[in-house]
Amino acid sequence: MTRIAIYDTTLRDGSQGEGVNFSLQDKLLITKRLDLLGVDYVEGGYPLSNPKDAEYFRAVRDLDLSHTKVAAFGMTRRRDLDASEDVGLKALVAAKTPVVTVVGKSWDRHATDVLGVSTQENVRMIADSVAFLVANVPEIVYDAEHFFDGYKHNPDYALETLGAAVASGARCLVLCDTNGGTLPEEVAEAVRMVRQTYPSTPIGIHTHNDGDLAVANTLSAVLNGATHVQGTINGIGERCGNVDLCSVVANLAVKYKGFEVLKSDSLALLTEVSRAVYETANMNFRTGQPFVGSSAFAHKGGMHVHGVRKFASSYEHIDPTVVGNERRILVSELSGRSNISEKLAEYGLEQDAALLAKVLDRVQDLENQGYQFEAAEASFVILVETLAGRYNPPFRRLSYHISVSNDQQTPRTEATVKIEINGRVEHTVSEGDGPVNALDGALRKALIRQFPRLAEMLLVDYKVRVINEREGTAARVRVVIESKDDTDVWGTVGVSENVIEASWLALIDSFEHKLTKDMHSAAFSV
């Protein structure tokens, strides 16, 4: 088995992506998760770039990491300056990390046209910087920036820059596709040449996704001898992002034979770590993300569902549980009996032929009106239970009223809600930032005494989509609300020509699902 070292740069390169920002606590939490996953290296940032990164390197020493080595990242010395006097290099040593990664230029034009130094001064900058760090840090990784562009333009010089790092004691040579435009066959050729030229030094690969080939390029490098892979969780990063380590790790661990990655028992944590990084970065999940996305093993067409039930690998290239994901059966107007039957089985509901037909007809009718249940499984469960004649709503909705006024140019929204619980009418009022927030507050006031666990529920997402936009302001809208509590996340849907009514319908389903779920849980525990 060939060990492939996984080097995560989510906290440094990933944070350069548009809209991505990590607090100090975020960085520490992600570091701990990556350690549990079995990532070999975590690059924490550049200690001289900002106070937060400097504080990270102080705080991370207090983490009890069982596997991961933390790396500080920086650049070669400035021109015409002794390495021992360069403040950037001294900051890397002061970070006191077991690993330092230093980046230098491999492209002759980048040295002359961007840095403004001669090609030979650039080589000296690399050699001096690596030598200084080797004397002060246990392990040095050398990142060869723009290596593939440099190799195409002047291969002899690109290889010479690597030689300077090797001669000065670099532990690993990482070839960087900084512009993200290299093709897999070009990566393969360059990696083979570097291995032939420097056979005793491990080779690494660092790719960007500007040509949508980052995963392919990384795998090409590994298949041609690279044993060190740099990337980010979920592929976040500048421009089109870095290579997605989730896809690289899953392919190397599951698809290819002869490679060892992460820790032996940690691959099943991959989906959890992916989603934790999205949450920490306050980013929406990429549902179609291979291996770890919520749609990666989702089946909508009736023929597909029928096939998966009989022979899973007919429509699933791996067992989703291997990477910690799960199979999802979607319900829509494309659904056949297989989809409905599978969904009923998930929730322990009856599966007689009459109910299957009734549910399928109703789903197709509602979707014709604009409903979608793919992201609203809670609404679907309520629909099925109702059609089965076994749904007992925890409360009865009577009426609601919304008023919006402008008080000294500040909008003020007030919601009044009237519901009935076990024959008792509750009539409550609440102010909010908007109609949905006000309705949510009024409903909670009406229900919280009878159902105290409602305090656990949060509304985490709210989406509005115009269905028949040709109708203009009279168009029908679909509202999807995502809610969560301490254990689950669920979606609900409402459709109406009135956006407040659509929101009310989705909100009611969300509350009813939470209350029904809690009552079932309590009954089961008894």
Per-residue model confidence as pLDDT tens digits over 271-318: 999 988 988 887 878 889 999 998 888 776 555 555 666 656 676 789
Which of 121, 165, 131 has the alpha carbon at shortest distance from 145? 165
Task: Give the helix ranges, DSSP H, for 388-447.
Answer: 435-447
H-assigned helices in 135-287: 147-153, 155-167, 184-197, 214-223, 245-250, 270-280
Closest CA relative to residue 262, chosen from 249, 274, 275: 249
User: How would you list the strands of the sheet with 410-421, edge to edge?
Assistant: 396-407, 410-421, 424-432
Give 182-231 pLDDT, tens digit per residue. 999 999 999 999 999 999 999 999 999 999 999 999 999 999 999 999 99
The answer to whether 36 and 258 have CB atoms below 8 angstroms apart is: no
pTM above 0.75, yes or no: no
Strand partners, 417: 400, 428
CA-to-CA distance for 309 and 316, rounded, in angstroms? 11
Residues in a beta bridge with 403? 414
**How many other C-beta atoms can be found within 10 angstroms of the C-beta atom of residue 333?**
15
Give the pLDDT confidence of 164-173 residue by residue, as tens digits. 999 999 999 9
What residue ranges define each of the domains in the chain, with the CATH number in brackets? Answer: 2-280 (3.20.20.70), 298-369 (no CATH), 396-525 (3.30.160.270)
Handedness of CA 339, 340, 344, 345 (dihedral sign): negative
Contact between 61 and 88 (Cβ < 8 Å): no
Among residues 109, 106, 110, 108, the alpha carbon closest in space to that of 126 is found at 106
Rounded distance between C-alpha atoms, residue 111 and residue 127, angstroms:
15
When the pLDDT of each residue in the chain is averaged and rounded to a whole number, the result is 90
Percent of the chain with pLDDT over 90: 67
Q: Could you tell me if 494 and 509 are in contact, meaning their C-beta atoms sit under 8 angstroms apart?
A: yes
Beta-carbon count within 10 A of 189 CB:
17
How many C-beta atoms lie closer than 10 Å to residue 509's C-beta?
Answer: 24
pLDDT tens profile 509-518: 999 999 998 8
Position 525 scores a pLDDT of: 45
- Residue 59 burial (10 A CB sphere; 0-12, 13-18, 19+): middle
Euclidean distance between CA atoms 428 and 432, whole angstroms: 13
What values do phi and psi take at 479, rounded to 5? Answer: -110, 125
Which residues neighbour 364 within 8 Å (Cβ) at sequence distance 6 or greater?
333, 335
> Residue 522 has what pLDDT?
62
- The helix (H) or strand (E) run that includes residue 10 is none
Burial of 121 (0-12, 13-18, 19+ CB in 10 A): middle
